[in-house]
DNA sequence: CGTGGCATGTAAACGGTTACATGATTTA
DNA sequence: TAAATCATGTAACCGTTTACATGCCACG
């Protein structure tokens, strides 16, 4: 009975017939639950090993004659039982961490332009996410998926769409408000940092996740 | 120039005139940005020390004659400059982790009752959160807050309200759908685990955060 | 045949929480 | 004065990411 959440995502993915190797499992996670759960190889590979030792998954090492190094894993019966048990347990609310909101909250310290830049970036990402989600939705309708869990998947998808849409609506209002602030507050915004601050636009957002 | 995000929340809180001690800062974080950012003492106290060493905050140790152990901190000018610089930097998208959605996604493995329990719990928490947020909103309207950053705070508040509301709407639809599944799929739900499974209701959610 | 991307893995570093420990202050 | 809670801190632990290392495979 692992307490590690990574273990359970892996069991779950194997349970719905996704991937047999660490690489495939990771890809499946990214493609299906990627917008609300992430895992890195550094977690997955050691996890698979542990699960195999505990007998929750069965490991099939690469066939000696084979040319690949690929390890395949499959869910065992006890693995499935263990996963079901976990599903029934109360879910844990992970500590919230939203740096965008944090920066917006303190935005008064930097002036409207800075926050406008951040909100635009959020808008951009949410639009992109919404596209992706709508794409999945369309694919789901077009026959394809006839998996027994389909209706549950649609539920998570619907929440994703609803939240993203709500965020986008908010972006419009927020931009309007920030522009009002900018016009009214005019130029006497809080001083930019030391030197070389030529009131240029905010840096483009690199290094972003999700 | 710290890279640690904790450092910046602290600088930010000191910047808007909140608390001077570690304890107060933590309380301020919880009360203002608690729904999207959290910090523990184990982070805050060491952070304050570091910031003092770097000269970003000024430390006033407890007056010798005083009866308290309380250390007070105040933002320095270089601290403020540093904070402003950070604000302009692109924000980081923290890795998504929503165990509720994860369990819902895999809910087909456990049958509708389990998911219904989880959704109800989410509903409960969101209702509570919405109450809190509305309370803050009302307090903000009633004169009180005349802080220069007020409009930025309202923006974050509005997003919180919008998202919570959207989640609540979704809960209703999700519960309806899950009950449909239950009725149609009837009793031949996936087998409950091993023994002692008396088809009793889901465990109440303890150990939950937020 | 070489280059780039696929696939697999490991070790170290880090951020963060938890659990613990303790003194001071209030309240019953 | 006993109990509760405020206030401060430390140390260990753990999950996670990052960076690195490596072999296989397809394609030009």
User: What pTM was computed for the model?
Assistant: 0.88
Model confidence band, residue B185 (pLDDT cutoffs 50, 70, 90): confident
Does residue A73 sit in helix, strand or coil?
strand
Model confidence band, residue B195 (pLDDT cutoffs 50, 70, 90): very low
Q: Which residues touch strand D (CB under 7 A)?
A: A 3-6, 38-43, 67-69; B 21-24, 41-42, 45-46, 48-49, 68-71, 95, 97
Distance (Å) from the alpha carbon of B60 to chain A's nearest alpha carbon: 24
Which ranges constitute the DSSP H helices of chain A? 5-15, 22-32, 41-53, 77-88, 99-105, 112-141, 150-185
Angle at B161 between CA B158 and CA B167, to 5 degrees: 140
* DSSP at B20: S
User: What distance in Å separates the CA atoms of residue A150 and residue B117, rounded to the nearest whole number?
Assistant: 19
b or e along A159-192 (b: 16 or more beta carbons within 10 Å of the residue's beta carbon)? bbbbbbebbeebbeebbebbeebbeeeeeebeeb
Does residue B57 sit in helix, strand or coil?
strand
**Which among A28-32, A114-118, B67-71 has the top mean pLDDT?**
A114-118
Strands (DSSP E) found in chain B: 57-60, 72-75
Separation of CA B14 and C1' C26 in angstroms? 27
Q: Name the more confident of A17 and A177.
A: A177
**Other residues' Cβ atoms within 10 Å of the Cβ of residue A122:** 22
- Are A182 and A112 in contact, with CB atoms under 8 Å apart? yes
Q: Name the more confident of B5 and B191.
A: B5
User: What distance in Å separates the CA atoms of residue A15 and residue A49, rounded to the nearest whole number?
Assistant: 17
**Which among A20-24, A66-70, B27-31, B170-174 has the top mean pLDDT?**
B170-174
Q: Which residues pair with A35 in a beta bridge?
A: none
Phi, psi of A99 (to 5 degrees): -65, -30
Tokens standing for residue B167: 């989640």
Pairing of strands B57-60, B72-75: antiparallel
Residue B37: which of A96, A148, A167 has the nearest Cβ? A96
Q: Which residues pair with A58 in a beta bridge?
A: A74
Q: Quick check: B205 pLDDT over 50?
A: no
Residue B90: which of A85, A108, A205 has the nearest Cβ? A205
Identify the pLDDT of residue A70. 79
Q: Do the Cβ atoms of B102 and A205 come within 8 Å?
A: no
State the angle between helix axes of A77-88 and A5-15 in degrees (0 to 180), rounded to the nearest 10: 120
User: What distance in Å separates the CA atoms of residue A83 and residue B103, rounded to the nearest whole number?
Assistant: 10
* DSSP at B36: T
Q: Name the more confident of B58 and B205.
A: B58
Tokens standing for residue A154: 């649609």
**Least-confidence region, from B5-9, B44-48, B66-70:** B66-70
Identify the pLDDT of residue B190. 57
Surface-to-core class of residue A198, CB atoms within 10 Å of its CB (0-12 exposed, 13-18 middle, 19+ buried): exposed
């Amino acid at each position: 009975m692992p307490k590690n959440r990574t273990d359970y995502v892996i069991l779950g993915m194997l349970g719905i017939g996704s991937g047999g190797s660490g690489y495939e499992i990771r890809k499946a996670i990214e493609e299906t639950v990627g917008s609300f759960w992430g895992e890195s190889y550094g977690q997955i590979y050691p996890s698979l090993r542990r699960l195999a030792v505990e007998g929750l998954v069965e490991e099939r090492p690469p066939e000696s004659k084979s040319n690949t190094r690929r390890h395949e894993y499959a869910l065992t019966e006890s693995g499935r039982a263990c996963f079901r048990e976990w599903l029934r347990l109360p879910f844990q609310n992970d500590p919230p961490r939203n740096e965008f909101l944090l920066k917006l909250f303190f935005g008064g310290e930097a002036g409207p332009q800075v926050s406008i830049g951040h909100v635009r970036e959020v808008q951009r990402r949410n639009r992109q996410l919404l596209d992706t989600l709508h794409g999945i939705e369309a694919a789901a309708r077009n026959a394809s998926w006839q998996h027994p869990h389909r209706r549950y998947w649609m539920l998570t998808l619907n929440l994703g769409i609803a939240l993203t849409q709500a965020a986008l609506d908010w972006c419009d209002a927020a931009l309007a408000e920030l522009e009002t602030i900018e016009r009214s507050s005019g130029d006497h915004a809080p001083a930019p940092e030391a030197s070389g601050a030529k009131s240029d636009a905010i840096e483009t957002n690199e290094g972003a996740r999700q």
